Structure 1
């Protein structure tokens, strides 16, 4: 301490000043009082210190950027982390208007979407929805791969908080149903999205899947895979159909007939994925585009000359 320019007395006074925020005292095994960090990390101590003083917190919030708001604050989320500055309900109005609506290019795990889904209380989300009322209708306009885009998860959380207008909820449900029936999107079984449905809507979706999708699902899967132009492997292309079948299996738990039907469809998927790979290899071999076997030799290959040999010979 002397090397740092402080005496023992000065250090003790400094420790006392930050007792309860960054430091705390404890009694060691030998009976002596010792100083210990009050929090596991300095960042957690800073977060607790800032949140303790309302006047300091308001200044701190005003100076934060958008990225800092969504990465460093907790506004009443169910799983609060000690490293986040916890904003009291009395100050939600300072934060809610400044948290922007995620843009269309963001995915479900983007910082803004994650903040809205996991770090906000119902009260905060109602204030946020009120501040961004003009943008709510557009949030129901999302594409397929429902679990990958951010809108459905945020809409479901807003519905849970009682902050989603009914017309927006219905439009989001209609879109999910459309993708579930026509596009074989398995997200309809995601428990996080079920909150968007009223019981009658979800029961009707289950009925339509049984009556409209299951009877010819093998053909639908083949059409789905053949329509995709992608560099993915066959196994990757068939993963979404596998997920869809698993979603059906879980949704109809206890229905032995549907369980056996799903097993038949799984078998079809496995056979198609394997046969398609064989067809691809056969086509490559017949077209001459297949790579030569490693280590193989060819008399033709051995007789090939460097084209520059003719130039060197004067031809």
Structure 2
């Protein structure tokens, strides 16, 4: 049996060229699978690149000859193997030497009974001589039916199959449409391509797009709903492009219901109407909804007459408009929604979206190379916004981005600049509703009852209670959720749907000096401690520099959240760092006056001083002149206690102690160590022996004691007698550590466990990443 390709491998004059080299390896593989499914009218399953045994795709079952086969005839029954070879170079030729590994894999598959026919697909050219050599090598490997389909065959197939283009719409932006569409459709397509210029190149066929195509085919109507910038308009425009080709429609990009009715021609059934932001671009516009309500009967009549209609709307705008549309009278409007929900994008679609935006963006090759190791994880971030992925591929939005794992995932997960743009577009009612939810913290209770502070917020933003009530309902599901707080089923109310939405709104509000009080009052304690600066004017990454007039508001907020960040005597690191680095002298004075127990709590640090955060705060208080002589003496005695009993020598190493202790203080403490610790070093070592925790690594345990004694040895190097005693003690500590040579902790115990596990287990094999060629 032989293959009978209908097109030669050398492009004839005027043959289409879809620039397949511009696709990534994974996109090309998916394109090949789509081509073969359409051409052969049979299912084709694609395998991941890793551990595929030489198969990029495989078909198993009985071959049923298609009514109009392209490129293959008389194909035998039996298992098929599909192998894709993609090159990033244009106008290149595939040679047999590049397939040496594939011939060996093919023979192994034949031996396993997995390969009766072998189909090689490539975007490169394949000369007649090379095709003959490749075919013979496959026959020698035991393949019963080898078939080589090159890039020109794929381009010809795309050009002759309009249904294929419907489900692979990216090709519209890759080829010469004048070879596919008639003159009238070509003119319209050029206009649409002007709208789609960048979007079509990066377009990924998602489930939402497939559902939209099916709804238009089956019902002639689809309403695309979704959050801002998730791809609604791009899907609608792509549907318009495919309508020109697949359905032979005349495309009309109307602006509202009046425009649709005005351009509808009952004698021209093949019309495609695309109305973007049907009920308002950034907020509900009542006049647009009223127009749809008046004309809906005519719209549905047009649909029944053969017209196809696609509407898009932000979901929160549609929820506000829906009560005015009388959906009960037009069930088609209610039933044929295609909801574009980024939360439902599968991971492979996210990765393809991210790949396309970065590969086709304007990032330099060196930057893409630095990004590459982190992009798989970036695609997993929540929430995932395609628009944020697009911005990651543009230098304009990433000038200050560090292309590290943390930097990229933070850019994706916390798209503050993107969300600030979205918030800026909202109307006063929506902004006021979000401000109330933000100010409320955990939950804004329902029903809405306004106190004086909330009324003030509404007035400052320029809204009214009725507008806020309406906006809360409209924003629920997009920006807000309406539910009971965790662990409390007795109340319901509104809260931000995702923490990043709340944080981004805080940044938006902080830009307005009149609303800083709202910002401070609504911040959660971690954000409050890490994102504001109270007078130092030195911290990078500070979100808000609080003026002195608002210090009392910040202090009030800190006092209210103190119990949330304190567990007994132990504060969290963010708490200490705020007071140590982000507070002016004036702010610290006001705070210590309001919190009279604050300094006392800072004195209650415990060993080891290297890990204690309180000394940093005490050093800052000392610089501000807020430690009394009595408090300083208490601090020095606490250090002396730890220096001897632990023993802890961090007060000789850490910079904050150079601020807190004078030369006189250090001499005093060294004398205490000389008199009280050095004579009892043997007792100290016995205490450490007795306190060795079960399962603890003795080397790591005693290393701490060695370091402390070593620091003291340096301090007493001019004191021969004391230095000699410390040197003997360090030797004894080393001997104590080596006395546990039979140490073998139980699984899960001690720091050795992780190390040994890491040596005895290899990482599982990793599938080939879609981003492998992102920097090529």
- Per the normalisation by structure 2, the TM-score is 0.29
- The match for 2:640 is 177
Q: 1:99 deviation in Å?
A: 1.9
- The match for 2:600 is 137
Residue aligned with 2:655, SS: coil
- The match for 1:242 is 706
Change (3 A) 1:129 1:148: same
- The match for 2:660 is 196
Is the CA contact 1:249–1:259 (under 8 Å) kept in the aligned structure 2? yes
Deviations 1:85-133 (A, max 9, x none): 3323332222123224553546575221222222223332222212212
Q: 1:136 deviation in Å?
A: 2.7
Change (3 A) 1:104 1:223: farther
**1:98-177 equivalent positions in 2, closer than 5 A:** 98-100=557-559, 101=562, 103-105=566-568, 107=570, 110-177=573-640
Is the CA contact 1:156–1:192 (under 8 Å) kept in the aligned structure 2? yes
Q: 1:229 deviation in Å?
A: 4.8
Question: Is residue 691 of structure 2 the alignment partner of residue 228 of structure 1?
Answer: yes
Q: Distance in 1 between matches of 2:603 and 2:637?
A: 9
Q: 1:228 deviation in Å?
A: 0.9
Deviations 1:247-275 (A, max 9, x none): 214434x6384666554433222112112
Q: Distance in 2 between matches of 1:50 and 1:246?
A: 53
Is the CA contact 1:129–1:164 (under 8 Å) kept in the aligned structure 2? no
Is the CA contact 1:51–1:87 (under 8 Å) kept in the aligned structure 2? no
Deviations 1:3-35 (A, max 9, x none): 4758xxx9xxxxxxxxxxxxxxxxxxxxxxx99
Answer 1 or 2: which has greater helix percent. Answer: 1
Is the CA contact 2:615–2:657 (under 8 Å) kept in the aligned structure 1? yes
Equivalent of residue 209 in structure 1, options 670, 673, 682: 673
Equivalent of residue 68 in structure 1, options 488, 512, 527: 527
Q: Distance in 1 between matches of 2:724 and 2:581?
A: 38
Q: Distance in 1 between matches of 2:518 and 2:526?
A: 17
Q: 1:162 deviation in Å?
A: 1.9
Q: Distance in 2 between matches of 1:39 and 1:92?
A: 31
Equivalent of residue 551 in structure 2, options 75, 92, 95: 92
Deviations 1:253-300 (A, max 9, x none): x6384666554433222112112x14879xxxxxxxxxxxxxxxxxxx
Change (3 A) 1:39 1:183: closer
Question: Is residue 734 of structure 2 the alignment partner of residue 270 of structure 1?
Answer: yes
Q: Distance in 1 between matches of 2:594 and 2:690?
A: 42
Q: 1:208 deviation in Å?
A: 2.2
RMSD: 3.7
Change (3 A) 1:93 1:249: farther
More displaced stretch, 37-46 vs 61-70: 37-46
Residue aligned with 2:647, SS: coil
Change (3 A) 1:221 1:197: same
- Per the normalisation by structure 1, the TM-score is 0.65
Change (3 A) 1:85 1:43: farther
Change (3 A) 1:78 1:162: farther
Q: Distance in 2 between matches of 1:263 and 1:243?
A: 12
Change (3 A) 1:168 1:35: same
Deviations 1:210-254 (A, max 9, x none): 34323553x1432231231512222132133112123214434x6
- The match for 2:649 is 186
- The match for 1:300 is none
Q: Distance in 2 between matches of 1:79 and 1:223?
A: 48
Is the CA contact 1:141–1:172 (under 8 Å) kept in the aligned structure 2? no
Q: Distance in 2 between matches of 1:54 and 1:280?
A: 63
Is the CA contact 1:245–1:262 (under 8 Å) kept in the aligned structure 2? yes
